[in-house]
Amino acid sequence: MKRHRLLAIALLGALAVAVKVPSALAQNVMKLGTSTLNDAQHEWMKKFAAIVEKNSNGRIKVEIYPASQLGTSPRMIEQTQLNAIQGVVGPPEFLTGVDSRYQILSAPGLFNDLPHANRTLQDPAFNQAFLALGANKGLKGIGIFISGPTVFVVRKPVAHLADLKGLKLRVLAAPLQLEQVRSLNATPVPMPLGEVMPALQQGTIDGVMSCIPVFVALKYADAAKYLVETNHGLISAITVISKSWFDALPPDLQEIVVKAGQQASADIYQFSVDDINNGRDRWKSAGGEIIELSPAEHDELMKQLITVGDQVVAKNPGEKAMFDLLRQTADRTK
């Protein structure tokens, strides 16, 4: 009897090892990171996580990490390529080192207003082409959306366009952002987001080029209270995920992830608009001031910036082709 009992136990143990949970039923963990907090990028992750977990019946668990908890944007991109984390949300300009075409959305003067920008980004032809960038570098794009119009915050008042001359302004590390600031006779300073506030406080930089929701969420008014509403371009965001992680998913889960990325990108639009509009009052409540250029000054600003896109992409046929597609799409969606 004892021998039979031991054989039965051994048999059950062997069966336990041999029987595995089918991959279709196994839970997949998806870690998503972003550098910002309480803005459209953070909110996009929340929406995406809710959609994916609901539609996958919990087969994919999405963990979200805002405020650079998983590292700086460059480090999160590298981790996503290596599948150490499964995705990162941020301005596409951070991906310029992966593929220089990611920077084209920085070009000034492409969009009339936020609805026009949103129509352009969500246009199926452009959306599909832009999200396909990075596929040969281990990345899969699943969503693009707006963060806000491009503006500046500076430590000292800027009454006129000429007051920007000589200022050191933090930008994203992409030629299209660098050249915009150089065109204004200022000095561009690429810098990870986590280093910006100390640099403002210490006077290492004089200001930042980004958008209102980022400035408000990160409380930049404490260090640079003057917000200059130039509205000369667009700060957008993209979500890229690990292609190797995605390719290993069953087809039904792949479809859920792709559709969730598109749905979250469409659903986030109104949040982004409200966040921008409410941001102005929140900036003032935090002790900040808002400076608007006169119509004549703004016209002069756009004259200085409008050719930057063409000048930068002219050096690279791939960039030019993608930029031409963007501009054609923007013209078609006006």
Q: Classify residue 21: in a domain, yes or no.
A: no
The amino acid present at 183, given as its one-letter code, is S
pLDDT value at position 27? 77
Provide the Cα torsion 33, 39, 40, 45; round to 10°.
Answer: 30
DSSP assignment of 162-193: GGGTT-EEEE-SSHHHHHHHHHTT-EEEE--G
Q: Classify residue 19: in a domain, yes or no.
A: no
Q: Classify residue 278: in a domain, yes or no.
A: yes
What phi, psi does 77 have (nearest 5°)?
A: -65, -45
DSSP-derived 3-state class of residue 242: strand
> Structural domain tally of the chain?
1
Q: Classify residue 312: in a domain, yes or no.
A: yes
pLDDT value at position 194? 86
Nearest-angstrom CA–CA distance, 197 and 281: 21
Closest Cα to residue 43, out of 308, 276, 305? Answer: 276
Q: Classify residue 17: in a domain, yes or no.
A: no
Nearest-angstrom CA–CA distance, 274 and 181: 28
We report the CATH number of the domain holding residue 140 as: 3.40.190.170
Do 83 and 29 contact (CB within 8 A), yes or no? no
pLDDT value at position 94? 95
Q: How far apart are the first and last CA of the chain?
A: 84
Q: Classify residue 210: in a domain, yes or no.
A: yes
What phi, psi does 237 have (nearest 5°)?
A: -140, 150
Q: Classify residue 132: in a domain, yes or no.
A: yes
In order along its 334 residues, the chain shows pLDDT tens digits of 444 444 343 433 433 333 333 444 467 999 999 999 999 999 999 999 999 999 999 999 999 999 999 999 999 999 999 999 999 999 999 999 999 999 999 999 999 999 999 999 999 999 999 999 999 999 999 999 999 999 999 999 998 999 999 999 999 999 999 999 999 999 999 998 889 999 999 999 999 999 999 999 999 999 999 999 999 999 999 999 999 999 999 999 999 999 999 999 999 999 999 999 999 999 999 999 999 999 999 999 999 999 999 999 998 999 999 999 999 999 999 9
Q: Classify residue 328: in a domain, yes or no.
A: yes
Crossing angle (nearest 10°) for helices 251-285 and 40-55: 150
Crossing angle (nearest 10°) for helices 295-305 and 175-183: 130
pLDDT value at position 26? 61
> Is the overall model pTM greater than 0.75, yes or no?
yes
Which residues face 188 on adjacent strands? 169
| Domain with 260 in it | 27-332
Nearest-angstrom CA–CA distance, 292 and 45: 33
DSSP single-letter state for residue 291: E
